[in-house]
């Protein structure tokens, strides 16, 4: 009997905790993450400021929790968009094959021909950057890899007996895709979604370093880290950069680990014998 194991549930617990904190951030007894000079600047970690304060006197713990809102939202939306578009196109390409497949596969190949961050730079440089457009950009980056996996899985399942049986019974393509293929292709995609969310969260951080994350005074983990990363700030109060880095690292680690476990758990080939 395979189980997901205790570390998996610890990872899920961490993600749940963060999500709850992020969702209810406004109702929690946190300091205002935006107010400049709310507290003394450059304080180290203490009981009143768990993660200390930054150069503008803002509470780093509050900024990390509010930052989780944008970072988790961007990660979630990006991969949801990638799944919807990439997954859909992949299934269509894998089911119909032929010219449809060739055109879609060429589009995937072209998207993958850009180094991911360079493509993100190209898009975000030309648009107004809010949480929706940044998510959309990162979602576009994931289309090709998600699409290729869903295409490969669809090809495997499209040959299976239950799909042929459905076809013999007179099911049309739409029904076969939604009722027979989709549920089977979804499982390996779930693992990819967890990994992809981690990648998107990191990508938001990278964009922040290029000055291309969400504009205005919205806080994200990436932007908090950038705030504390100038050599002088980093030397005198490293807490501003290092605490958000720690939280982000744990989150990405949790997502990667959970994704890996889900993939192994559902990997039928390993349990077949």
Query: Could you give phi then psi for residue 59, rounded to 5 degrees?
Result: -75, 120
Query: Which residue lies nearer to another protein by CB, 151 or 157?
Result: 151
Residue 210 as a binder of another protein (CB under 8 A): the answer is: yes
Min separation Cβ 209 and another protein, Å: 5
The 3-state secondary structure of 56-100, one letter per residue: CCCEHHHHHHHHHHHHHHHHHHHHHHHHHHHHHHHHHHHHHCHHH
Cα–Cα dist 65/247, whole Å: 10
Q: Is 132 in the site for another protein (CB under 8 A)?
A: no
The window from 26-34, 162-170, 175-183, 220-228 that contacts another protein (CB under 8 A) reads 220-228
Interface with another protein in residues 59-98 (CB under 8 A) = none
One residue of 83, 147, 205, 220 binding another protein per CB under 8 A: 205
Q: Which stretch binds another protein (CB under 8 A): 56-64, 102-110, 149-157, 186-194?
A: 102-110
Stretch that binds another protein, among 9-17, 31-39, 153-161, 206-214 (CB under 8 A): 206-214
Nearer to another protein, 100 or 206 (CB): 206
16, 122, 156, 165: which one binds another protein (CB under 8 A): 122
CB of 238 to another protein, least distance (A): 5
Please give the residue ranges that form the binding site for another protein (CB under 8 A).
Answer: 106, 109-110, 113-118, 121-123, 125-127, 198, 202, 205-206, 209-212, 222, 225, 228-229, 231, 234-235, 238, 241-242, 245, 248-249, 252-253, 256
């Amino acid at each position: 009997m395979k189980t997901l194991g205790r570390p998996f549930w610890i990872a899920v617990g961490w993600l749940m905790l963060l999500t709850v904190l992020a969702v209810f951030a406004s109702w929690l007894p946190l300091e205002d993450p935006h107010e400049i000079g709310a507290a003394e600047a450059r304080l180290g970690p203490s009981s009143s400021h768990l993660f200390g304060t930054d150069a503008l006197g803002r509470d780093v713990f509050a900024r990390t929790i509010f930052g989780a809102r944008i970072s988790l939202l961007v990660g979630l939306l990006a991969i949801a968009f990638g799944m919807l578009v990439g997954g859909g196109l992949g299934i269509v390409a894998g089911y119909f094959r032929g010219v449809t497949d060739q055109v879609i596969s060429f589009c995937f190949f072209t998207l993958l021909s850009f180094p991911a961050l360079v493509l993100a730079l190209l898009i975000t440089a030309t648009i107004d950057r809010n949480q929706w457009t940044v998510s959309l950009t990162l979602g576009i980056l994931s289309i090709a890899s998600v699409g290729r996996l869903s295409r490969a899985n669809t090809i495997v399942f499209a040959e299976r007996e239950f799909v042929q049986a459905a076809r013999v019974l007179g099911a049309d393509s739409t029904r076969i895709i939604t009722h027979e293929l989709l549920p089977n292709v979804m499982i390996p995609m779930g693992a990819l979604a967890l990994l992809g969310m981690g990648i998107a969260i990191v990508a938001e951080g990278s964009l922040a370093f290029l000055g291309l994350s969400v504009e205005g005074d919205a806080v994200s983990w990436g932007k908090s880290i950038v705030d504390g990363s100038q050599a002088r700030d980093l030397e005198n109060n490293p807490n501003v950069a290092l605490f958000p880095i720690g939280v982000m690292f744990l989150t990405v680690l949790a997502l990667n680990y959970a994704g890996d476990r889900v993939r192994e758990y559902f990997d039928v080939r390993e349990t077949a014998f």
